[in-house]
Homo-oligomer: A and B are copies of this chain.
Amino acid sequence: MTTRFAGETLGHFVAESDWRDIAPALRHEAKRSILNHLGCALGVAQDPAVTTALKVMQAFAGAPVATVIGQGVRLDPMSASFVNAIASNLLDYDDTHLATVIHPTAPVAPALFALAEQRGFSGAAVLHAFLLGGEVECRIGNAVSPGHYARGWHITSTCGTFGSAAGCARLLGLSAEQTWHAIGIAASQAAGLVENLPTAAKNVGVGNAARNGMLAALLAEQGYKAAPAAIEGPLGFALATGDAPKIEDITRDLGTHWEIARNTYKPYPAGIVFHAVIDACLELRAEIGVPPEAIASVTVAGDALLLARGDRVVNNERDARVSIHHSAALGFVRARAGVADFEMPAVTDPALVAFRAKVTAKLDESMPRGAASVTVRLADGREFRKTVTTPRGSLEKPMSDAELEAKFRDNSEIGGFGARADAAIAATWALDEAPDVVRLMDLLA
């Protein structure tokens, strides 16, 4: 048996995959990922981070053939990918591959839709390329985790570049060898730092992943090559960016086990470890049925990660999305946690400010990662407790199609596209039958 390079094996996998071999459940998961992605991008269509990226790109963009989601304009495919990837991931409200904390769809889907608009590929071709690109992305992510992120690499941006390159290579019909080169060229473009996560520089990394992955595929299509071991070589991606990578994770059970099938979707636009807090508070509120004034104190217990990220003063929207106190306050005061509930009016809402002061965070080393235990003490002395270990949206409790549709409608409303939401949802569910992506993209333009 010949040992292949990792990129070589991935190249064959991507180039030789047959849509007819993709199980219905996996095809459906691809559409769920796309629906969630498009909704997230629509929801922030008016955010300055998105409109600024659009404005900068417009001054340099070529033939306007690719839709910028929720904007009235089109750009060339590379520029459109950049803006759409930024939008999809802007609030971290998109999807999560929990093993790596990669947001898989934002860097991959925008490049595929943009190329499909330019060259007329079918909906099924886009869905297939998405699954293959997302699979490459998550597998490379698995191989370099956890050392990669711990060292400072924003894994959605870095591994997203591979995902976009592999997906675009498939869509363009590249050979196995060309796809291998595209993935290798992506290795020389993978960038993005955790240090920059609280700022717009993070968005640039995500946008570039989509844009540069497409560039890698386009260059490989025209004959550009990369080193055979661009991923696993002694001076290649895995060792340069990570400590103790597990290269075999890239190709183990390739084609039979799908990492992208483990994609999850967020019900709340908050950091993923806060979802258990929100769920527990929502459930307690429904069960106890008392107004916030009747609550004397709330104690939230969780592991070290929850406390390190979430025990903080809330001064702005970014704080609110990673706050134990704000999460609990929303559950008890507003009984919901939608996009608007993390924006500035909510940050400064006197009822939420007052309730946040009643919340205490407490370390409990026995709690699993992503879990939370909430104890409520009422003014009358009664005490209630709820522990959530598998929050809504987790692998064990996935969002239903109906919940994803509701999330899409909410996002569409916020972005000003509510009237078209149902048509866009229907077009997404029918994407595997669509001869092109024109109708769906027109609904989002």
Interface residues of A (CB under 8 A from B): 48-49, 52-53, 55-56, 59-63, 76-79, 151-154, 157, 181, 184-185, 187-205, 208, 212, 215-216, 218-219, 222-227, 229-230, 233-237, 239-241
Residues on B with C-beta less than 8 A from A76 are 60-62
Interface pairs (21), CB distance under 8 Å = A48-B223, A52-B222, A56-B222, A60-B62, A61-B76, A62-B62, A152-B235, A152-B239, A184-B196, A189-B204, A193-B240, A195-B229, A196-B226, A198-B227, A200-B219, A200-B225, A201-B225, A203-B224, A204-B215, A204-B219, A240-B241
The chain B residue with its CB closest to the CB of A148 is: B240
Are A191 and B191 touching (Cβ within 8 A)?
Answer: yes
Q: Which are the 3 A-B pairs with shortest beta-carbon distances?
A: A152-B240, A152-B235, A201-B226
CA distance A188 to B201 in the complex (A): 6
Are A193 and B199 touching (Cβ within 8 A)?
Answer: no
The chain B residue with its CB closest to the CB of A241 is: B240
CA distance A233 to B195 in the complex (A): 7
CA distance A219 to B58 in the complex (A): 12
- Highest count of chain B CB atoms <10 Å: which of A224, A234, A236: A224
Are B184 and A188 touching (Cβ within 8 A)?
Answer: no
B62, B215, B236: which contacts A193 (Cβ < 8 A)?
Answer: B236
CB distance from A140 to the nearest CB of B (A): 14
A-B contact sample (17 more), CB < 8 A, given A56-B219, A199-B226: A52-B219, A53-B219, A56-B218, A60-B61, A184-B196, A185-B196, A185-B200, A187-B195, A189-B191, A193-B227, A195-B233, A196-B226, A200-B219, A200-B224, A201-B224, A203-B224, A204-B215
B53, B195, B223: which contacts A235 (Cβ < 8 A)?
Answer: B195
Are A196 and B239 touching (Cβ within 8 A)?
Answer: no
Are A188 and B236 touching (Cβ within 8 A)?
Answer: no
Are A236 and B79 touching (Cβ within 8 A)?
Answer: no
The chain B residue with its CB closest to the CB of A236 is: B195
CA distance A316 to B193 in the complex (A): 38
